[in-house]
Structure 1
Amino acid sequence: MGNNKNGVYIIIISLYCVSFFSQFLVARDVVYRDLFSIFNLFFSFINIFLIVYPWSYANVQFLHVKNNSFFIFLKRILYTVLLINLLLNIGILVVVFTFIPNIAEFKAEQAFLKLYDQIPYFANIFRYAYVSQNLGYFAIPIFFYELSNGNWKRAKIAIIFASSSLISGIAFYSRAQIFTFVMVFISYFFLVKNCLPSIIRISTLKYLKLFSIVIISFFILITFLRFSEMSYYGERIPSTSIIQNPILYSLVDYASQGFSNGFIQLERYDESKFLHGEQLFRDIYQILNFFGFISWDANDSQDKIDIAYDYDGGAFNGYTTPLVFNLGYFFAFVVSLIYFLLVRKFVKGKTIINLESSLKIIVFLFIPIVSIFYVGYPMLYFPLLFLLFVRILFFIFIFLKHIKF
């Protein structure tokens, strides 16, 4: 059995409990019609179990660097990329806040598309920022590693570069990105907190609480600014909802819709709605199309998704449902099982974790944290490809270094 008292596991379980029980505050009623409904309910929970439970095995006591040469090589490349990302995301933030201060317009009407024509190369910059937005997470394990060794200066540099992912979320007015960054950061802290000296651990926890208050306040501000501009939103609130205040309703509805929406969509699923992975591999298709390797149209792709979800694909549908729509029941279960086995391999019985494994662990944390909203596997592609690319470059570097000309 795992260590069920570890912090990261408790956080993930708490997220699901809050998300699941919040639906009853906003009248999200789910009707179970027959045995197939019971099967869908069970299938949803077994898939969620497979991405949550392996974290119960985590018991990290020490962080170390297995290959110092690779660590230095990785840091140089990563920090160079993150410096570029940080500057670009700050630039995008300034541009968006200047030209599109209305959050509702940015989100509902996709007003940022207008900037593609107004600002030269903005479209390419925006696309790059979107694709690379999660690379900043790699600096979080480095931050805690440096803290564990008392290297405050290096730790500060790491956290500045890690913030590129948070600034990206703010620039995109994305509550989901902001929420994800905060929860991944907090979860990772509780995953490795025993690696930190007690004084540093207490100090870090104090700053983490302050950081969380600031970010949560900003999150609420974005919500208020967005929905205060949508006067019609209050009319959508069911009369049976316990919460009637539009701003508070939007927050609770935001947290709760994944399970109920996903279950309703799963009840409607049949072979005609099978997407052949269109949602899961959309970002990859977009990149391949951009470089001319395949012919793929974003509008056609979105049409397929909209039709499959009865034009409600923009809502949160949780974790299991998008997997089924894209892979079918069998392969949805297989993917969840593979995730379970991989995470268990990373953390079970591992009191000592090397930094290279930590880089994979932190992106795997995306999956249970965002799955109260949607399936997060597309978030893994670019970060893992980046790690592979750096590893190949390192091997080439070592090979050339030992060649005698």
Structure 2
Amino acid sequence: MNSSSFIKNPEMYSLFDYASQWYMNCNHVMSTYKFETLNGQLSFPLLFEVLKKAHLISYSSNEIEALLYNLWGENFDKFNGLVANLLFDFGYLGTFIVTALYVYLVWILRPVRNRLSFSKLLVLGGLFLLPAMGIFNSQMKTIAYNALIIYSAIVYMYMVIRVDKRKVSSP
């Protein structure tokens, strides 16, 4: 515990220290950015795995750690935050586009007349994980999160189409 801290409770200090590591790490990692992107390898590993299984690309998920170590040094496996991952994955413009798309999706799925359908809630649950867990590292780097987004989008579309068919067929 830092003696100059105004927080004197060691448990509280540890909590704040742990939850704020991403801030310094993110700033440090982003300061090393040299306008070379990873073309989605951090954000869409499921897509890269599918393309590898289809023998369309040569890709190894183990190589990404070595690549990140070369780019970020000792911060390659630390809490770097979502923005650092997006920056290295898509560059400045791509980060802005991904962020704008995220805001647009959340806005579209917002409650209407103080009501939120189950299908919207299903998708929002997955979307809210991204910023909620973003302080630790990007959830987008996991294949399971990619699958969650795809499955929830499929279920959402199915539920919306099913509801639309009911409206058309009911008198």
Normalising by structure 2, report the TM-score. Answer: 0.72
Tell me which residue corresponds to 1:381: 146
The alpha-carbon distance between structure 1 residues 310 and 241, as it changes in their structure 2 partners (threshold 3 A), is farther
Larger Rg: 1
Tell me which residue corresponds to 1:318: 81
Paired positions, count: 156
CA deviation after TM superposition for structure 1 residue 315, in Å: 0.8
CA deviation after TM superposition for structure 1 residue 302, in Å: 1.4
Unaligned runs of 5+ in 1: 1-236, 396-405
Matches within 5 A, 1:298-337: 298-337=61-100
Question: What per-residue deviation string (whole Å, max 9, x for no partner) do you get for residues 365-397 of structure 1?
Answer: 1122112222334564212322455567xx9xx
1:360 aligns with 2:123: yes
Tell me which residue corresponds to 2:168: none
CA deviation after TM superposition for structure 1 residue 241, in Å: 5.9
1:256 aligns with 2:27: no
Which of 17, 28, 35 is residue 271 of structure 1 equivalent to? 35
The alpha-carbon distance between structure 1 residues 268 and 355, as it changes in their structure 2 partners (threshold 3 A), is same
CA deviation after TM superposition for structure 1 residue 242, in Å: 6.4
The alpha-carbon distance between structure 1 residues 335 and 239, as it changes in their structure 2 partners (threshold 3 A), is same
Cα distance in 1, alignment partners of residues 140 and 64 from structure 2: 18
Contact 2:44 2:140 in 1 (8 A): no
- Identity %, equivalent residues: 25
Higher helix share: 1
Cα distance in 2, alignment partners of residues 248 and 288 from structure 1: 46
The alpha-carbon distance between structure 1 residues 240 and 293, as it changes in their structure 2 partners (threshold 3 A), is farther
Tell me which residue corresponds to 1:139: none
Q: Secondary structure at the match of 1:365?
A: helix
The alpha-carbon distance between structure 1 residues 282 and 306, as it changes in their structure 2 partners (threshold 3 A), is farther
Specify the code of the residue in structure 1 equivalent to 2:71: A
The alpha-carbon distance between structure 1 residues 244 and 354, as it changes in their structure 2 partners (threshold 3 A), is closer
The alpha-carbon distance between structure 1 residues 375 and 300, as it changes in their structure 2 partners (threshold 3 A), is closer
Specify the code of the residue in structure 2 equivalent to 1:285: F
Tell me which residue corresponds to 1:343: 106
1:297 aligns with 2:82: no
CA deviation after TM superposition for structure 1 residue 256, in Å: 0.7
Specify the code of the residue in structure 1 equivalent to 2:22: G
The alpha-carbon distance between structure 1 residues 346 and 275, as it changes in their structure 2 partners (threshold 3 A), is same
Cα distance in 2, alignment partners of residues 388 and 345 from structure 1: 13
Specify the code of the residue in structure 1 equivalent to 2:65: Q
Tell me which residue corresponds to 1:284: 47
Q: Secondary structure at the match of 1:373?
A: coil
CA deviation after TM superposition for structure 1 residue 359, in Å: 1.0
Matches within 5 A, 1:17-32: none
Cα distance in 2, alignment partners of residues 292 and 245 from structure 1: 55
The alpha-carbon distance between structure 1 residues 348 and 337, as it changes in their structure 2 partners (threshold 3 A), is farther
Contact 2:43 2:140 in 1 (8 A): yes
Question: What per-residue deviation string (whole Å, max 9, x for no partner) do you get for residues 274-320 of structure 1?
Answer: 32222112343235435655431223221111111123111111222
| RMSD of aligned alpha carbons | 3.2
Q: Secondary structure at the match of 2:107?
A: helix
Contact 1:275 1:304 in 2 (8 A): no
Question: What per-residue deviation string (whole Å, max 9, x for no partner) do you get for residues 249-288 of structure 1?
Answer: 654332111122111222222225x322221123432354
Normalising by structure 1, report the TM-score. Answer: 0.34
Cα distance in 2, alignment partners of residues 380 and 299 from structure 1: 18
Cα distance in 2, alignment partners of residues 300 and 317 from structure 1: 19
Matches within 5 A, 1:23-42: none
The alpha-carbon distance between structure 1 residues 241 and 278, as it changes in their structure 2 partners (threshold 3 A), is farther
Q: Secondary structure at the match of 1:310?
A: helix
The alpha-carbon distance between structure 1 residues 240 and 306, as it changes in their structure 2 partners (threshold 3 A), is farther
Contact 1:275 1:305 in 2 (8 A): no
The alpha-carbon distance between structure 1 residues 324 and 357, as it changes in their structure 2 partners (threshold 3 A), is same
